[in-house]
Structure 1
Amino acid sequence: MADHRAQVEDLIAGYRRSREELGSVQRRLATVRETVTSEDGLVAVTVSASGSLVALEIAENAYRALRPADLAALIVRTTAEATSRVTRVAGQVLAPVLPTDTDPEALLRGTADLSAKELTPVPAPEPPEETFEDKTWMHSGSTRDAR
């Protein structure tokens, strides 16, 4: 009976240690941020470890220097770079609590256990051909038949 009690106490102690370590990792992840400034200095973005855009700074002259579509593309590219960087940093924070054969960056991207085939996007179905034929719900043919 004493051996059983000691085993249970060891299990509970191990659980508490794991939970404390996980809490510590979560607190560190909550503080991870990466800021990237575009090469031209017109855009700066900050992304959190969860991949959320938490800050966006656009230089006043960006609106004169770039067309709206070009500015939007610059914001997207800069955000993608910040997301890539923050994923690497967050992966380093997360790695100590993961099994040794787990890729923390793939886990954060949501692709850790997926094959290349599963990661390949499925093409969108072709839209049905539009017909401009005059139809009625009363007959299977065109409305010309109903007239």
Structure 2
Amino acid sequence: MTDHRAQVDQLLADYRRSREQLATMHRDLAAISESASSDDGLITAEVGGRGVLTGLVIADEAYERYRPAELAAQIVRLTGAATVKAFAGAGEVLAPALPSGTDPQALLLGTADLGAKDIAAEVPDVDESFEDQNWLAEADWPRAR
């Protein structure tokens, strides 16, 4: 009976270590914050460890310098650049907990076990012209009597 008790104690100790490692990993991921700024310093985008935009600073001068479409494009570009940095940091946090050979970046992107062929989107065969299309079948309409 003593052997079983020792095994149970060892399993509980392993579980507690794993749980603490997981909690530490979650705290480390939550602490990740990366930013990217425009060359002129007028726009700064900040993202968290999952690439979600958490902050955006736009200087008043940016509204004078950029047209709305240009400003939007800058925000999208900077958010993407900050996300790349955040994912690199998140990958470093995750790597020790993953099985060997697992790419943390692919895991974060949701493509961990997918190949290029699996990811490629099928191009539907679509007739682009909708002219002269009858979308209602005549049989669906009641006829006047």
TM-score bracket, shorter-length normalisation: 0.7 to 0.9
In the alignment, the residues of structure 1 paired with residue 45 and residue 36 of structure 2 have an alpha-carbon distance, to the nearest angstrom, of 6
Question: Which sections of structure 1, spanning at least 5 residues, go unmatched?
Answer: 141-145
In the alignment, the residues of structure 2 paired with residue 3 and residue 133 of structure 1 have an alpha-carbon distance, to the nearest angstrom, of 78
Higher deviation after alignment, 3-12 or 66-75: 3-12
Higher deviation after alignment, 4-13 or 124-133: 124-133
Q: CA distance change for structure 1 residues 134 and 54 in 2, over 3 Å: closer, same or farther?
A: closer
Partner SS for 1:61 = helix
Residues 11-39 of structure 1, C-alpha deviations (whole Å, 9 max, x = no match): 12101110011001101111110011112
The residue type paired with residue 98 of structure 1 is: L
Corresponding residue number in structure 2 for 1:143: none
Q: Is 1:37 aligned with 2:31?
A: no
In the alignment, the residues of structure 2 paired with residue 106 and residue 137 of structure 1 have an alpha-carbon distance, to the nearest angstrom, of 48
Corresponding residue number in structure 2 for 1:75: 75
Corresponding residue number in structure 1 for 2:131: 131
The residue type paired with residue 38 of structure 1 is: S
What percent of counterpart residues are identical?
47
Q: Is 1:112 aligned with 2:112?
A: yes
Residues 83-108 of structure 1, C-alpha deviations (whole Å, 9 max, x = no match): 00000011111212112221112111
Q: CA distance change for structure 1 residues 125 and 64 in 2, over 3 Å: closer, same or farther?
A: farther
How big is the shift at 1:121? 2.8
Corresponding residue number in structure 1 for 2:102: 102
Question: Which sections of structure 2, spanning at least 5 residues, go unmatched?
Answer: none
Q: CA distance change for structure 1 residues 8 and 30 in 2, over 3 Å: closer, same or farther?
A: same
Q: CA distance change for structure 1 residues 36 and 130 in 2, over 3 Å: closer, same or farther?
A: same
The residue type paired with residue 111 of structure 2 is: T
Partner SS for 2:55 = strand
Scaled by the length of structure 1, what TM-score is found?
A: 0.84
How big is the shift at 1:111? 1.4
> Where in structure 1 do 4 or more consecutive aligned residues deviate above 6 Å?
133-136
Partner SS for 1:111 = coil
Measured on the aligned residues, the alpha-carbon RMSD in Å equals 2.4
